[in-house]
Amino acid sequence: MSQKALEAIRTQVMWNRLVAVVEEQAQSLLRTAFGTITREAGDLSAGVYDINGRMIAQAMTGTPGHVNTMATAVEHFFQHYPPHSMKPGDVYITNDPWLGTGHLFDYVMLTPVFLKKKLVAFFASTCHVIDVGGVGMTAKANSSYEEGTLIPHLPIRKQGVLNEELISVILANSRSPVEVRGDLLSLISGNDTGARRLIEMMEEFKLSSLQPLAEHILKTSGDAARAAIRELPEGEWRYEMPLDGYESPLLIKCKLTSKNGEITIDYSGSSPASLFGINSPRTYSLAYSVFALKAVIAPHVPNNIGSLSVFDMVTEPGSCVDPIRPSPVTARHVLGQQLADCVFGCLAQALPAKVQAESAGAIWILSLYSAHGRVPANETRNATPFAVISIGLGGIGGRPGQDGLSTMAFPSGVGGIPVEITEGQCPLWFREKQFLKGSGGEGEFRGGLGQRIEILNREPAPFVISAATFDRIHNAAQGRDGGKSGRKGEARHGASRKPLGDKGVHIIAKSDSLVVELPGGGGFGDPDKRSAALIEGDQRAELT
């Protein structure tokens, strides 16, 4: 075997090892996090960056919204703390929505890595914490100032010593200080784990710098993504997607242009920013737009800044997909996670019969609280105070050759939180959680099913639900290539069956229950072409 071949093998082994390192970083965060949305649902990201702040590898564990926003978040730290000023043991933090992952609930943690006092890399991670003050996990604020406490780019650890003053400010503005502190330390610990493993790797392979490997990774990935783009026909395709909105419906307008081996997604003409917190900052809109492009065009190419930077996006500042600070953005995934389906709508025209139908889209975050302070004190006199999160999942759209997956989060990939975990944290009882029969759109390949969840309080007291993230109640997931639309979602009071009505905060009376029915995915292909075997299987499993 030639020396050149041996070097190529060695380089690929190091690349694979780097991916293993960041996966261990993510697993460290996942297994030590306090918040259930992180440790149970995997709402996080982890990655390694070169000395210029370019993401060269990401963990498999995590969401596109976190991973892809983090691809550009690291360089913002350098404007405040140049790399040459950093020391071993330093860690930096921010939760700025416009310079991080899109809302205040995600803290971005950056750790410089040193080999024999020489800066060789950075590790960064993020996760969703349960509370950052303000109005909480609701969409009712009219500015980001009301939504919680913004932490600008600041050091949270200096040369190994925690900045307890900063941590005390963060905790003083949270309703769940124990959980938030635990998550902050888990982010720091995960980065430290990645740093240790990277140093071990560099010493094993006798590397004094990571830059040659980084250049190889980014060039190889970028070249592969460009080659995949060239396989797409040239042209221009448009798609529009109506969304429920808050005070009024929203319309996303999308134009995809493929020309000379380049792709641009243009959202010009989309609705202006909402007055409420469902807007998607540009960084988050870009994250899910490029995810959709890459998922269809170049799924085989590793995800890093090299493969992501071949796609471009155009937005209008002040629109719902590019709100101007201080627009409210807490529930930004309601809009941002629908963008993947919007991009798919364009790609389906360029690649007929090769792109899945629309999915339920945004996960429904069930933000559940005791009613203290929202009802007369006598109604909660002996009630247990609590604030918990559960996750409602709808159906994925039918796919070429396969039914859509049921109760799965697309495009975020976030998992559910076991009801036993939530019930152990509060007096709520999940009386029912099951597939919502017939909610998937009909087609040659059926859309995935949503689920029905009913929740009530075991204590004789009311509780509160924030419906900030409930969408597709008025606009169903559309089918593709002759497939039928999925069932719309619904949220209502169990006793009266009265709909919750909007994305606000709602009180569930002590004698009542909350019922949510998650939307199903659209069907793919002509329903008359569905095979007898698949129909029989649906009937046997009681899915239709």
DSSP H helical ranges for 233-281: none
| Chain segment 128-172, per-residue pLDDT in tens | 999 999 999 999 999 999 999 999 999 999 999 999 999 999 999
Average pLDDT over residues 11-21: 96
Model-level pTM? 0.96
SS3 content of the chain, % helix, strand, coil (to 5): 30, 25, 45
Asked if residues 341 and 396 have their Cβ atoms less than 8 Å apart, the reply is no
Query: How many helices and strands, by DSSP H and E, does the chain display?
Result: 13, 19
Helices assigned H by DSSP within 408-529? 419-425
Residues 396-431 pLDDT 10s:
999 999 999 999 999 999 999 999 999 999 999 999
Asked if pLDDT for residue 1 goes beyond 80, the answer is no
Left (φ > 0), alpha (ψ -120 to 50) or beta: where does 318 sit? left
Omega prior to 249 cis, within 30 of 0:
no
pLDDT in tens, 339-369: 999 999 999 999 999 999 999 998 999 999 9
pLDDT above 90: residue 60: no
Residue 342 neighbours by CB under 8 Å, 6+ apart = 239, 241, 252, 254, 292
Q: Which of 306-310, 316-320, 478-482 has the lowest mean pLDDT?
A: 306-310
Annotated domain spans of the chain: 3-209, 233-353, 356-544
The pLDDT, as a whole number, for residue 4 is: 85
CB 224 within 8 Å of CB 153: no
Amino acid in position 142: N
Which pLDDT belongs to residue 262? 86
pLDDT of residue 62: 86
For 430, counting Cβ atoms within 10 Å of its Cβ (0-12 exposed, 13-18 middle, 19+ buried), the class is: middle
Do residues 236 and 255 make contact, with C-beta atoms less than 8 angstroms apart?
yes
pLDDT at 61 over 90: no
Band of the pLDDT at 544, cuts 50, 70, 90? confident
Check if the beta carbon of residue 416 is closer than 8 Å to that of residue 391: yes
pLDDT of 3: 85
State the pLDDT confidence band at 315, using cuts at 50, 70 and 90: very high
pLDDT of residue 261: 82
| Radius of gyration of the CA atoms of the chain, in A | 23
Nearest Cα neighbor of 126 from 173, 191, 215 is 191
Tens of pLDDT, residue by residue over 220-238, are 999 999 999 999 999 999 9
- Tens-digit pLDDT profile for residues 66-103: 989 998 899 999 999 999 999 999 999 999 999 999 99
Q: Which residue is associated with the tokens 């309703």?
A: 175
pLDDT at 439: 97
CA 12-18-21 angle, to 5 degrees, is 145
The position carrying tokens 């996942």 is 30
Residue 277 — pLDDT band, cuts 50, 70, 90? very high
Q: What are phi and psi of 187, to 5 degrees?
A: -60, -45
Are 77 and 349 in contact, with CB atoms under 8 Å apart? no
Residue whose token pair is 């914490």: 129
The per-residue pLDDT for range 186-232, each reduced to its tens digit, is 999 999 999 999 999 999 999 999 999 999 999 999 999 999 999 99
Closest CA to 467 of 411, 426, 518, 418: 518
pLDDT at 252: 98
State the pLDDT confidence band at 109, using cuts at 50, 70 and 90: very high
Q: What is the pLDDT of residue 260?
A: 85
User: Between vectors from CA 474 to CA 524 and to CA 335, what angle results, nearest 5°?
Assistant: 80
One-letter amino acid for residue 290 of the chain: V
